[in-house]
Structure 1
Amino acid sequence: MRFSVFTASTPEWTPAEAARNLAGQGWDGIEWRITDQQETQTPGFWAGNRATWPLTGLEDHLDEIERLTRESGLEYSGLGGYARCDDHDGVERMLAATARLGARQVRVTMPRTDAGEYRALFAAARRDLEWVASRAAEHGVKALVELHHETITPSASSAFRLVDGLDPQHVGVIHDLGNLVIEGREETLASLQLLGPYLAHVHVKNAAWVAGEPEEDGTVPWRAEWAPLRAGAGDVDGYFRALHAFGYDGWVTCEDFSTELPLEERTRGNLEYLRAVEARTRPAAAA
């Protein structure tokens, strides 16, 4: 397996700093975040993220993205796009950029479940994804559907239903440990087997359910929060054992949205931890 970082999780670093720091720590690759975002004085994961490239005018930045990535010695694990499947212009631009950079694969986001009636949303997304698949094939790249809470594809089962019958050379699924803590978790090995050739990429982060203050009647509200890899509810060792059992040997992209540790310490420690977990969960015959 090879390990990369999604720059949504490195908001304090500029693109040049992200490439230099991650390469210096020994990461194999980088997954650039590409989206138009709200600018803020204080950098954050979702707004004011300094390691994000804008979708508006993206074509003018491709040479710089390519230069920073190449000079750092990092590879692309893919591109972290935010263009939704029904935004055909945005998707086309992301697919073209993926091909131009040689990044091979790019995330295409799915509708949120609160955007309408589920069956209608799903049917429309399937039609859009058929178009996406055809365009991805034209560009020679792969479009990725992420397992993500609060969207129409929170689970492997829902994602498989969406992509089933499309060409797995040009449409794939991102399995995501942390998102599945919040919604959509199924037994990991079974979910990987269900996806089969559609399993194209893996994201690793962690989350935990936290109890709030009891209400007047004693009801305890719970909320999900991002957590360090070692401290969340997701079983990282079990996750890697399942990946090994399935035979997955592709990219594992870390996107740690916890804030207990400073960014540089967090990314460095995550790489050490992920490599240790990957090694100790590897079947003996493959060690």
Structure 2
Amino acid sequence: MKFSVFTASTPDWTPEEAVTALAGQGWDGVEWRVTDQADAPEPGFWAGNRASIPLTGLEGNIGHIAAITRRAGLEISGIGGYARCDNREDVERMLAATAALEAGQVRVTTPALGTAVWGDQEPSGTPYPVLFEAARRDFEWVADRAAHHGIKALVELHHRTITASASSARRLLEGLDPQHVGVIHDLGNLLIEGQEDYLPAFELLGEYLAHIHVKNAVWVRTEETDASGAAVFRNEWAPLKTGQASVLEYFKALAAFGYDGWVTVEDFSTELPLAERTAGNLEYLRSTAALAGLTAGAGAR
């Protein structure tokens, strides 16, 4: 098992600062966020993130990304892309860039639910079966193109999308080549929607389990009530140690399944300064992996 950090969670650092800091702390790799984003007066996770690589001009940036990562002594655990499966032009660009970077795997996103507000977009109202069937056709094409490039395209388990659970992702990818499509199982996202018992979910995914994202969250009761007078809760990101999910139990399930790939951290809590947060996360993950019987430093799948 190897540990990396997704640069969506390191917004204060430039790419050069990110690899220098992470290598100095002892991380094994970095997962680059690639997207065009809005400007912001202050660095933020989703806008003004200084550690993100713009999609615009990506091809001209590949050599620089590879060079700074290599010089820092880090591996690339994958590419955190935002190209949706039906945007074939951008998906093809992301697949080609991932191959050029020798990163091995890249996230390709699935559609938001028809009932979901997504970014600045209002709910589409499209029924789930229509979204799902279209995405399945798209992923048949994605799998073929990923095979062409010799890499793997990953579906992330993400709340408010058509693949919030392991069951839905397995259904989407069923019958496609697991050498070229796979699933990112995400501990924190599943607290919000899609939670299934860890080990059975890993067993369900089988060869499609390709990558792990770790973050944590909590549900907080607000002062509001709904129209019926019932309590209203909202979810918030939390540090790995204080969120509702047990990282130890998660790692025990990964050990029981025999997972030996990358674990990428994307900690969106803000209680601690960034450098303290990333260093503390690595120390905690290593000690927790040891308690769970996982072998740190094993070769990634």
Within the alignment, does 1:225 sit opposite 2:236 as a pair?
A: yes
Rounded Cα–Cα distance in structure 2 between residues aligned with 1:84 and 1:227? 27
1:163 corresponds, among 173, 177, 181, to 173
Q: CA deviation at 1:214?
A: 4.2
Rounded Cα–Cα distance in structure 1 between residues aligned with 2:167 and 2:155? 12
Rounded Cα–Cα distance in structure 2 between residues aligned with 1:16 and 1:40? 20
Residues 133-175 of structure 1, C-alpha deviation per residue, up to 9 Å, x if partnerless?
0000000000000000000000000000000100000000000
Q: CA deviation at 1:41?
A: 1.7
| 8 Å contact from structure 2 (residues 32, 80) kept in 1 | yes
Compute the RMSD of aligned alpha carbons: 1.2
Within the alignment, does 1:109 sit opposite 2:109 as a pair?
A: yes
- Secondary structure at the aligned position of 1:46 is classed as coil
- Secondary structure at the aligned position of 1:212 is classed as strand
Code of the residue aligned with 2:181 in structure 1: it is: V
The runs of 5 or more residues in structure 2 that have no matched partner are: 115-123, 296-301
Matches for 1:228-239 after TM superposition, within 5 Å: 228-239=239-250
Rounded Cα–Cα distance in structure 2 between residues aligned with 1:12 and 1:118? 37
Tell me what 1:91 maps to: 91
- Secondary structure at the aligned position of 1:225 is classed as strand
Code of the residue aligned with 2:254 in structure 1: it is: L
Distance 1:90 1:220, change over 3 A: same
Tell me what 2:118 maps to: none
The runs of 5 or more residues in structure 1 that have no matched partner are: none
Matches for 1:195-210 after TM superposition, within 5 Å: 195-210=205-220
- Secondary structure at the aligned position of 2:162 is classed as coil
Tell me what 2:152 maps to: 142
Matches for 1:237-276 after TM superposition, within 5 Å: 237-276=248-287
| 8 Å contact from structure 2 (residues 79, 98) kept in 1 | yes
| 8 Å contact from structure 2 (residues 143, 180) kept in 1 | yes
Rounded Cα–Cα distance in structure 2 between residues aligned with 1:246 and 1:106? 23
Tell me what 1:125 maps to: 135
| 8 Å contact from structure 2 (residues 108, 155) kept in 1 | yes
- Secondary structure at the aligned position of 1:191 is classed as helix
Rounded Cα–Cα distance in structure 2 between residues aligned with 1:202 and 1:92? 23
Residues matched between the structures, number: 284
Tell me what 2:54 maps to: 54
Code of the residue aligned with 1:186 in structure 2: it is: E
Q: CA deviation at 1:213?
A: 0.5
TM-score (norm: length of structure 1): 0.97
Q: CA deviation at 1:40?
A: 1.0
Code of the residue aligned with 1:225 in structure 2: it is: E
1:183 corresponds, among 184, 193, 213, to 193
Code of the residue aligned with 2:199 in structure 1: it is: L
Q: CA deviation at 1:55?
A: 0.5
TM-score (norm: length of structure 2): 0.93
Rounded Cα–Cα distance in structure 2 between residues aligned with 1:168 and 1:191? 16
Greater fraction of residues in helix? 1
- Secondary structure at the aligned position of 2:140 is classed as helix
Q: CA deviation at 1:215?
A: 3.1
Matches for 1:1-40 after TM superposition, within 5 Å: 1-40=1-40
Rounded Cα–Cα distance in structure 2 between residues aligned with 1:31 and 1:281? 24
Residues 162-194 of structure 1, C-alpha deviation per residue, up to 9 Å, x if partnerless?
001000000000000000000000000000000
Code of the residue aligned with 1:200 in structure 2: it is: A
Tell me what 1:194 maps to: 204
| 8 Å contact from structure 2 (residues 251, 294) kept in 1 | no
Q: CA deviation at 1:283?
A: 7.1
Rounded Cα–Cα distance in structure 2 between residues aligned with 1:233 and 1:275? 20
Residues 98-126 of structure 1, C-alpha deviation per residue, up to 9 Å, x if partnerless?
00010000000000002321000000000
Tell me what 1:279 maps to: 290
Q: CA deviation at 1:220?
A: 1.4
